[in-house]
Amino acid sequence: MELSSLKHKFLNVFKEELKGQGQVSIKTFFSPGRVNLIGEHIDYNGGMVLPCAINLGTYAVVSRRHDEQVKMMSLNFEEMGILTFDLKSIQNNPDMDWGNYPMGVFNEIIQMGHAIQTGFNILFYGDLPNGAGLSSSASIEVLTGVILNTYLELGIDKTEMARLCQHSENTFNGVNCGIMDQFSISQGAKDHAILLNCDTLEFELVPADLGDYRLIIINSNKKRGLVDSEYNIRRKECEIAFGLIKGSFEKRKLNYLCDLSPQEFLEIAHVLTEDSVYKRAHHSVTENFRTQRSKEALSAGNLIEFGEWMYSSHESLKNFFEVSCSELDVIVTLSREVRGVLGARMTGAGFGGCAIALLEKSQCDRYIDYVGKAYKETTGLSADFYIAEISNGSGVVNESI
């Protein structure tokens, strides 16, 4: 949607609210979604992740009010109308549905001791597909945080913004998410990926100029199942593996599975007698190695090597961590058949959701046509395709109108 159309929508939606206020300052903000390029299911094993912000995300058009109410509407949930809450009485409310995510950030800012004297009118619009694993909830959370940081001049830096938005989702909305989503959305930089240690929050911006290549996000439209229960099983198996290795490894003290190099893992792997435990550890150690090598390949502009690491990551997630599914495997297999594709892999939690592919810009239409048709014939499902660019993090789009 064009920004001018979004601003006109705002004026129509809130015309009654704006009556009698004279000249009103209206600001526009954008907050990206994110994809994880590589480094899957290792953040809780001390590994590195390599996400990037993308140019799909959430927009907000905003004005201040003269009372203590916040009125919000999302064009993605237009049938719900305007949602309202009072700054003096914020609490999670199932009837607020999507509104609990921005409301939670308001609550977090207030709990930090910042006074919010007057409310806001906010119109949201997102072009992220809901439920596809591109972090629409984190996008709207960081967007809300940036709105408040801008209007109230709070001086909150990007890392602290990520922390407070994650804490809001954990506590106000009861979602036990990690910090990667909020961090990459807050710290995103155009044509850069982010090499991030989710435990220490040490990070490095990695040059990722794709030139004539593009990222395509493929939503399998396979509804995720088993994610929570299987995630807990995988995490427990990793803990078992680390306990066995730590007790037998004599070279140095280990703090995480991913402290091991692949060679060191081969030397100690004999202590992992249970097949599933061995597989989880194998993925964790090798995926961390792949992430480090991917960072080097991207920095050097070696997209062919980076693409091969993507393929390798998918095979490990499929065969060793066992979190892929037939639909995601079909997408990756079909991607190998299209000229100009350098790499493809599942991304996110797995058991459904999205895959990503890196391919020549000139081949995007051919890729979408070929993979779309063959995927439908093979699985009976229709995939959705999104051509993405690596973008900046959340911020003001236009100071005023």
Give the residue numbers marked as catalytic.
Answer: 181
How many residues are listed for the chain in this entry? 401
Q: Let me know: does 245 contact 260? Beta carbons within 8 Å.
A: yes
Q: What three-state secondary structure class fits 8?
A: helix
The Cα–Cα gap between 149 and 141 comes to 12
Q: Side-chain half-sphere of 42: how many Cα atoms within 13 Å?
A: 36
The Cα–Cα gap between 129 and 220 comes to 12
The Cα–Cα gap between 195 and 352 comes to 25
The Cα–Cα gap between 218 and 33 comes to 14
Q: Let me know: does 372 contact 385? Beta carbons within 8 Å.
A: yes
Beta bridge partners of 206: 193
Q: Let me know: does 144 contact 106? Beta carbons within 8 Å.
A: yes
